Structure 1
Amino acid sequence: MPDSDSDQEPQSPDSLFQTAVVVEAGLGLLAVLLGYLFGPDPRLFVPTLEQLPALAGGVGLGLLATFPLLLLMAIIRRINHPAVQELDQLAEHPMMGLMLKLGPLELLVISLCAGVGEELLFRGWLMPSIAGLLQGEAFTLLPADAASPRPWWAFGGYAAEVASGIAGNATGSGEASPLSWSGFTSWWAESIGWEMTIGWIASSIAFGFVHPISRLYVAVTGLMGFYFGALLILSGNLMIPIVAHAFYDAIQLWIASAEAKSEA
């Protein structure tokens, strides 16, 4: 009787690449499907080509938003603790070893798929979906009058409130500045509320638990989920966390790949 293990062909880097792309892109398609069936549509938080300044600005801000994540990981890796050492040994995992054999472009494609797919699902759909469920009606971070002209950086969220406040001060409305702490807390209470706060927390925790590589990795990924969620709440522009997520993943994979090849 033939050995079943010997009949199975070992997975190749190319097949792993295809699987990773399908899974990560599938998460994005799942988010769009869930939005179509139950709402909200996560694509509403992504600027269209007709909103090119907001789209391009989201890409630029997303690239900048990557650096705090890189700094966080650099600090964590300096901590002398077994859990941190376990993170550093992830490259020795067979699946990760296969992935690190891929080229820089393939690693970038996987990272882009992860950024788009996971952010559409967790920040674009799950977070506002939980808020809407608790609130009893659809929740949005976009201005009521989406067609109204506003700066490229004020697609929605707190940024749109700031833009509105600046315009109000220019016309002498006399309202409290949204840039003040009282203005921010007032906006949060009125526009975000406890419903979106719970959605933010719950979706971030869920994001951590779908990355069960180690306890520390779950915790770190959960913190990243809070960060990505905050980016969306503050900007209303899902392109920012998408790019930050994708670029962070790409940099980490490129670094790990270079280290693995230098040690080979």
Structure 2
Amino acid sequence: MRLTRGQFLWLASVFELGLVVLAYALGGLLDIDPVAALRVDATGLFWGALGTLPLYGLFLLSDRLDATREIRRFLIDKMGPLLAACSGPELLYLGLLAGITEEILFRGLLQPWLELDWGWLGGLVFSNLAFALVHWITPVYALLAGVCGLYLGLMLDVGPERNLLTPILIHALYDFLAFVAVASAWRRQRAA
């Protein structure tokens, strides 16, 4: 059964918003505010926009690498039709949704919680092992997601103080750009 555009957007919304509910429920139990480090400021906006460029550059390069070509093919074949059915604002919504909700859970809650017992490096590594597992499509995809998660975790601490806005913006912009690229590739493939 193929999902309709509306069903896809609804399922994505329910799943991603469920991550925020989980973050706040766990945060309540652990006495951690998942958005304690969220500040909307020029520094976070700057690093968020600039920090998107390396990830998107790697995404563009992925089509040229044998190890990631299979993943890109999978994304185009499976996600392409769903993403191509969405409008530009809907793709932006999906990018923002994933960026905000996943970063609140992984960088806002898990990383600071794990730092309490494992220190900064342990929090960074273990929170991104969890991030990789949640993104397990193939072993290579999980590895790449884990590496991206490590990058996002490092970007949490770029600038004068920890700011959750930076990884949220990087994640959201990257996902939006990747969604547009996958939808465009699927359209080109279909037209050919």
Same fold (TM over 0.5): yes
Structure number with larger C-alpha Rg: 1
In the alignment, the residues of structure 2 paired with residue 263 and residue 78 of structure 1 have an alpha-carbon distance, to the nearest angstrom, of: 17
1:219 alignment counterpart = 143
1:28 and 2:9 correspond? no
The CA RMSD measured in Å over matched residues stands at 1.7
Q: Which amino acid aligns with 2:137?
A: I
Please state if 1:234 is matched with 2:186: no
Task: For residues 85-115 of structure 1, give each alpha carbon's deviation from its aligned partner in whole angstroms, at most 9, with x where no partner exists.
Answer: 211212112x552233211111111111100
CA deviation digits over 1:228-251, x for unaligned, max 9? 100113340000000000000000
Q: CA deviation at 1:17?
A: 0.6
2:38 to 42, 46, 66: 46
Counterparts of 2:82 and 2:42 in 1: how far apart (Å)? Answer: 34
**C-alpha distance in structure 1 between counterparts of 2:42 and 2:188, whole Å:** 36
User: Hey, what does 1:121 align to over in structure 2?
Assistant: 105
Q: Distance in 2 between matches of 1:75 and 1:88?
A: 11
> What is aligned with 1:92?
77
Distance 1:37 1:258 in 2: 43
Contact persistence 2:48–2:170 (CA under 8 A): yes
8 Å Cα contact 1:17/1:99 also seen in 2: no
Q: Secondary structure at the match of 2:47?
A: helix
Distance 1:10 1:85, change over 3 A: closer
Contact map agreement 2:59 2:178 (CA 8 A) in 1: no
Q: Check 1:126–1:65 CA distance in 2 against 1; reply closer, same or farther (3 A cut).
A: same
Residue 6 of structure 1 corresponds to which residue in structure 2?
A: none
Higher relative contact order (CA 8 A, sep 6+): 2
1:20-55 alpha-carbon deviations (Å, 9 max, x no partner): 0121122123212221221211211111xxxxxx52
TM-score with structure 1 length normalisation?
0.66
Letter in 1 for 2:126: A
Identity %: 33
Residue type matched to 1:118 in 2? E
Gaps of 5+ in 1: 1-8, 48-53, 135-193
Q: TM-score, normalised by structure 2?
A: 0.89
Distance 1:74 1:10, change over 3 A: closer
Amino acid across the alignment from 1:26: G
Figure out how many residues of one structure are paired with residues of the other and give that number. 187
